[in-house]
Every structure is written in C-alpha cells, then in structure tokens.
Chain A
Amino acid sequence: MKLKGFMDQAYEGKVRGEKRLDEKKGEFLLGFEDLAQRLKERPKRAEVEDLAPRDADSIVDLVISASPKDKREETIWGILSSLAAESISEPLFIPPRNFAGLELKRGTIILDGEAPASGPKARASGGAGQTSAPWTRAHHLGEKMSGGRLVVRGGAGDYLGQEMEGGGIVCISCGDYAFRNMTGGWGVVKGDAGNYLGVGNSGGRIAVKGRAGARAGWLMRSGRIWVRKDAGDYLGLMMSEGSISVVGRAGARAGWRMKGGLIKADGYGPEAGAEKVGGRIFRRGAL
C-alpha cells in the first residue's frame, strides 16, 4: 500500500490530501466571514493574499464591510487592510481596529475615527503613563510592518508597531509595549507613551513628544529613543547597546544593570546607574 493510502485509512478521509487553500483558490468570495472560514487557525499573509480579491476596490470594500469577531478574524482583517493599502495609490482611510496594518509592506493607512466597540479586544484606554482618551483604542496597530506609513489620528492601544522592521508610524499617544522588539523603521508619538516603550529593540528610531512610562528601552540592543518630556523609572533597564535621550528627567534607577549603550537626561531619580556593568549615563547639563 502506498503511504498516502495508509494515511487515508488512518484518518478515514477526515483530513484533506491537498490543502484547503489550494482547493478554494480563485473561488468567488461571499464576504469576510466566508474568507475567514476558508483559512486555517493561524493564517499567514500569503494564504490570505491567495484568497483575497484581486482588484483594489473589492478588497477595500471587504475591509470596510468586515466586522471581525475574534482574534483570529482580527488578524485576517489586519492583513487584508495592509493588502488594501498596498493595492491603491492614495492613502486608505479606515476606522481603527485591532491589528490594522499587520505586515504592511507599502502604501499608507490612516486610521481615523473611533474604533468600533464590537471588537473583542477594544477597550477603554487607561494604560499607565498615558492620558485618558474619550475614544476606545485599537491594539497591535502596525505590527510586523516592513514598509509604508501608518497614521493614527487618535490614541493607539498596546503593542503599537510591535516587531516592526521598516516603514513609519505616527500617532497621538500610545499604550504599553509600543515598538516592542523593533528591528527597523521609525515611530513618532505626538503625546505620551505608556510603559515598556521599545522593549528589546535591536534597531529603529522612536520619538515621543510627551512623556514615556516606566522601563522605556528595557533590554534594548540597538536603535534610538528620544523623549521630549520626562521618562519613568528604570529607563534603559539592562540595555546593552543603542541610545536613549530624554530632554526632561528620568525616574529612579535609570540604567540599572545596563551593559552598554548611552543614556542622556536632564536629571535622574535616585540610584541612577545602579549595578551598571557598562555603558554611559550623562546628565545633559554636564555635557
């Protein structure tokens, strides 16, 4: 017996020999729910791209008409929003939803208006270190971007620009874990940023025109962070490379256990540079 026959018998025809995706490729889509049903549990961008409509108008219509119900559908919608932005020459205006601009490669997305309250992860803002906003914030915006622009005309939620490799993001304010594990590109926060800004970064540039929360630049390996006002406690915690510049004051224990890199601030809280192994900490006035 051939191996496929053996497997067929073992699974009694419950598993398709060919991937579901191949069978459905090029078929007519009934809507976003239909698209989501045809994809497996953790769909990849290439799989969504294969099933998505080919013409720009249809894909934009699909993005605007969709109402994702859970995290899986949100990621599919996020990839679709990127595909839509890439397929048109002018900026794509859509309401902010979780995962908008996921894996964006080119084009521009402008998130305007209030995030729909129906989204499972949409919740009122209130992350540490940020001003409260009257609108609900969308999370995971611009995640894994490698190009293009994402403009958020309002406050972004948590995980803004996480794992981004290129492109740029502009927003009014952001929640926690913004630009986490960033390897390239840039981000501008016109207001305040939450805690854990630029955690584990190994590249890219971040500018915050307001305040940054605690632990900005934690475990940073490369890249730059610039903060116009004050930064919270544990600035540059255990960082090994890169530079952090704070125009205002840094909180307690800035540069705690840092191994390399550079921190500049106008002033520091207690225990700045405690247990420091390497790197440099400067007071701006002393330079």
Chain B
Amino acid sequence: MPDPLRKIDDLVDALEELRLHVGPADLQVGDRKVNSQLYISLANACLRNRAALLYGGMGANKTTLVNLLGSAFTDLSFDEVENLMITGHPEQTEEKIVGFIDPRQWSCPPAASPDSSRSSTRPGSSSFDEGAEAIQVLWTPWSRSRWKVINEINRFPSGKQNLFLELLQKRKVTYAGKTLDLGDTCYFATMNPDFSATYPLDEALLDRISISVPATQPDFLASLALAEREKEVWELAESLPRFSSEEFERLPGMVAAVSLDSQVELSIISLLRDFTLCERAPAFDKTQLSGGSKPSRGLCAGCHYFNNPEVCCWQVDEGLSDRVRQDLRSYTRAMALLLGLDSSESKIEVLRAVAPYVIWHRVSPNRTMLERPPYYGARRLLYVKDLVEKSINRTLNERGEMNMIFARAVDGEISPRVALEELSGYDDPIARLDYVRALERMV
C-alpha cells in the first residue's frame, strides 16, 4: 500500500500546480513555512471527530478547498462532495439536514434499506420508544457521510445551531426517536464575518470547534496564478490524487502513533492554566465567570497581576476547557506527522504554531490591550499568538525551578511544608493558585 503521507504531499503539489489553492506560506513551523489554511485542513482530515472552522470573507477558497480535499480523501467526484454539503440559511430545517420520516412505510411494508439498517433505537425503553421502533427514518446523505461540511455555519439561526452542538458533542444524531451513530467523521465548517444575514455563534458551539483558521483573499501573485487556471474547478479536481478508503482510515492511527514528549505536555497544561486561572473567580476558574464579572468588565481592577503584560489571565475574558487540551495534543501530533517533524525541539515548535489557531476563536481579548502598542486592532489571532508564545517561553525557562520544587514535594522527596515555603517566593499564577493549594491539601 502506498504511503498516505506521500500521497498528501502529492495532493499539496497538485493543488498548487493546478492553481486550485494558491494561498501564501503564512504558518511558520520551526524553519518551515506552509499555508495555514491548507495544512490545518489537512491536519483535520488526518484526525477524526474534530471540527475545523475556516473563517473569512466571500471567495477566499474556504468551501472549495474543503470540497476538493473531501473529493481526494473520500474518492468521490467534486460534484458528489458538493452535494453532500449543507449550507446555512434561516429556512434550513432539521429534516433537510439530518433526515425525515420515510412516508413509504405507511403505504407499503418496510424494506430493509441500507440507510435504515444503520439506525438503532435509543437506549432506555419507553412507550414513546416502542412507538418509534416502527418508524423508519431516511437519513440524508450528509448525515451518513464521514466527511461532513457545514457551509456558512453562522447563517443558521441560533436555535438551529444547537443541532450542531449536539452533533459535535454526542457524535450521534437523533430524529423522531431514532438515533444514527455518526462514527468517526471529519467535520469542517466555514463561516463569514458578521453580515446582516448572519447570527453570532454561541460560546458552547465555538468551544466544540477544535481549530479555526482565517482564509484571506488571494494576493497579487496568487491572483496572477489564478488567472492561469483555464478549466473549471470540477474538471481540475479529477486530476487530484485519490485516497483509497484503507489509506484514509489509516491516517488517524498514524497520527496517534506520534508521541508527545514531556516538554510539550507540560507546555500544553501550563498554557491552559495560564488562560484559565483567575485569583478572583470561583475556585480560581475563569470558566465559572459570567455576565458582568469578566476581566474586560473591571473584574481585575486592583489585582496585582492586572496590567502585567507577561501574565495571560487578565488579558482574555474566557478560560479554556479541557477540550482545548485534547485539541492541542491532536493537532500538534497531526501537524508533526504532516511535516515529518520528529524531534522534541521541533514538536514544541509545532505546538507554538498550532496553539494560536486552537485558542483564538474561543477567547475574547481585553479590548484595551488591542488598542495599545503594538496595536493589534482586529488582528486577534496575532494577539493570541503572542500570548501563547509568552506562556510557552515562561514554562520552558522561568518556571523550571518552581516546577521542580512542586514535583519533588508531590513525589515525597521534600516535605510539603518546605515546598510551600519555597513556592511562596514565586509570584506566578500557577505556583500561587495551583501548586500552593495542592500542597496545602497535602500538609
């Protein structure tokens, strides 16, 4: 069987040669530069049950790129992949998205169709379930597909967005009492900036979107390259390398085989705690905050970490959930696999590159910081990237001594009291709010 990674390289080359994707190399990973939109989409294709969001204005090659990749990875034609996709608009209904009750079941005996054979009853028996047992649901091709694209997700009204929340959470879809197990699926979504016809995505749904990448309009050189494209996209898509189903199924296993060393694991956990810890939040957990009690609403006034540019806690309103940890691990592995980076140093570089894309859509930076030098303004991703950089550098350099003290106390090499005394000299949120509390419980 040919190596799927080699085929991915061929796919990248083909996309460029056929002028199907000509984005700039804007993602620096160690000493390599690649296109963020393409490589993050590829990383998502190597994973299962993670959702990638492509965010950008109209015509930025978001949907087309995802459909081209879908065509290559699932060995379907470009048209077939396009037909699988669902697109957001206010009149979109659950029936059109997931499935509908088969009207034929009342006019003729139920046929054991392959569609309905996939469905199963929900666990737990009730009169409703017993009644539903007889109902046949015809699941839409989108529901049954292992490559799910939700186009213009923010054109779905808020109520209908809840459907995707449930879908991404449970990996199952339920209709008329019947449940369809979605299995291992690649999820992609696209989204435009706020227009008059769009609806805001709620925070819970955003948290379930694993990674988000901005898609920009082609620059001058890219536009020249696109001008050379003479055939239609669907015609060119026929020339892309195709993956067999075995090759496509092998990819998640290859990603899982990539190991992450302690340095990366420690940096991921510290990064999460840097964003989540808050001295003034219940249980020091910023995810517990709501309404007016947020850093941007004056919660941090007078806190001694406030205005310290090296500390993340006051600079963003939201804490990060444990899903972020899982996503950081998955995408670091996937990107390291795609770029063939094995060493410990290169994996930490992969984490530095990937982490901003995993975090930036989940947090709201403090606006005052965006308006100060170096004037990030609307460049939220760049701002989060700088925060990530600070956190990782701090963990790898300055936190060494305090981490060792804590580790020795946990392992029983020194007494918790001595460790507490030592750690009291470190003015670091993790030492003060996590380590000291843990040691106090041990005393």
| A7-B262 CB under 8 A given contacts A15-B403, A17-B404 | yes
Most chain A CB within 10 A, of B261, B266, B404, is at B404
Cβ–Cβ contact B266 & A3, under 8 A: no
Within 8 A of A (CB), among B238-262: 261-262
Cβ–Cβ contact B408 & A4, under 8 A: yes
Is B413 interfacial (CB-CB < 8 Å)?
A: yes
Cβ–Cβ contact A7 & B425, under 8 A: no
Bound CA span A18–B422, Å: 11
Residues of B within 8 Å of A44, CB to CB, are: 425
Cβ–Cβ contact A16 & B266, under 8 A: no
Cβ–Cβ contact A4 & B400, under 8 A: no
Is B31 interfacial (CB-CB < 8 Å)?
A: no
| A10-B401 CB under 8 A given contacts A4-B408, A4-B413, A17-B408 | no
Bound CA span A114–B407, Å: 50
Cβ–Cβ contact A6 & B266, under 8 A: yes
Total contacting residues, chain B, CB less than 8 A: 19
Is B263 interfacial (CB-CB < 8 Å)?
A: yes
Within 8 A of A (CB), among B112-143: none
Q: Which residue of B lies closest to A6 (CB)?
A: B262
Interface Cβ pair total, 8 Å cutoff: 51
Cβ–Cβ contact A7 & B401, under 8 A: no
Is B411 interfacial (CB-CB < 8 Å)?
A: yes
Cβ–Cβ contact B422 & A15, under 8 A: no
Cβ–Cβ contact A15 & B400, under 8 A: yes
Residues of B within 8 Å of A2, CB to CB, are: 407, 411
Residues of A within 8 Å of B406, CB to CB, are: 3
Kindly provide the distance from the CB of B400 to the nearest chain A CB, expressed in whole angstroms.
3
Bound CA span A272–B46, Å: 76
Q: Which residue of B lies closest to A44 (CB)?
A: B425
Cβ–Cβ contact B404 & A9, under 8 A: no
Cβ–Cβ contact B262 & A10, under 8 A: yes
Kindly provide the distance from the CB of B104 to the nearest chain A CB, expressed in whole angstroms.
59
B340-356 toward A: CB 8 Å interface, digit per residue (1/0)? 00001000000000000
Within 8 A of B (CB), among A1-37: 2-4, 6-7, 9-12, 14-19
Kindly provide the distance from the CB of A2 to the nearest chain B CB, expressed in whole angstroms.
5
Q: Which residue of A lies closest to B266 (CB)?
A: A10
Q: Which of A7, A12, A14, A19 contacts B407 (CB 8 A)?
A: A7
Bound CA span A19–B402, Å: 10
Kindly provide the distance from the CB of B407 to the nearest chain A CB, expressed in whole angstroms.
4
Bound CA span A17–B403, Å: 9
| A7-B403 CB under 8 A given contacts A2-B411, A17-B408 | yes
Residues of A within 8 Å of B401, CB to CB, are: 15-16, 19
Kindly provide the distance from the CB of B263 to the nearest chain A CB, expressed in whole angstroms.
5
Bound CA span A263–B247, Å: 87
Is B363 interfacial (CB-CB < 8 Å)?
A: no
Is B410 interfacial (CB-CB < 8 Å)?
A: yes
Residues of B within 8 Å of A10, CB to CB, are: 261-263, 265-266, 403
Bound CA span A7–B408, Å: 10
Most chain B CB within 10 A, of A16, A17, A44, is at A17
| A7-B413 CB under 8 A given contacts A15-B404, A17-B404 | no
Residues of A within 8 Å of B344, CB to CB, are: 12
Within 8 A of A (CB), among B357-412: 396, 400-401, 403-404, 406-408, 410-411
| A9-B262 CB under 8 A given contacts A14-B400, A15-B400, A19-B422 | yes
Task: List the 8 closest A-B pairs by CB distance, nearest first.
Answer: A15-B400, A9-B262, A10-B262, A3-B407, A4-B407, A7-B407, A10-B266, A10-B263
What are 20 A-B contacts with C-beta separation under 8 Å?
Answer: A3-B406, A4-B410, A6-B266, A7-B262, A9-B261, A10-B262, A11-B263, A11-B396, A11-B400, A12-B263, A12-B344, A15-B400, A15-B404, A16-B401, A16-B404, A17-B408, A17-B413, A18-B408, A19-B401, A19-B422
A3-B411, A10-B261, A14-B400 given; name 16 further pairs at CB < 8 Å: A2-B411, A3-B406, A3-B407, A3-B410, A4-B408, A4-B413, A7-B266, A7-B403, A7-B407, A9-B262, A9-B263, A10-B403, A11-B400, A11-B404, A12-B344, A19-B422
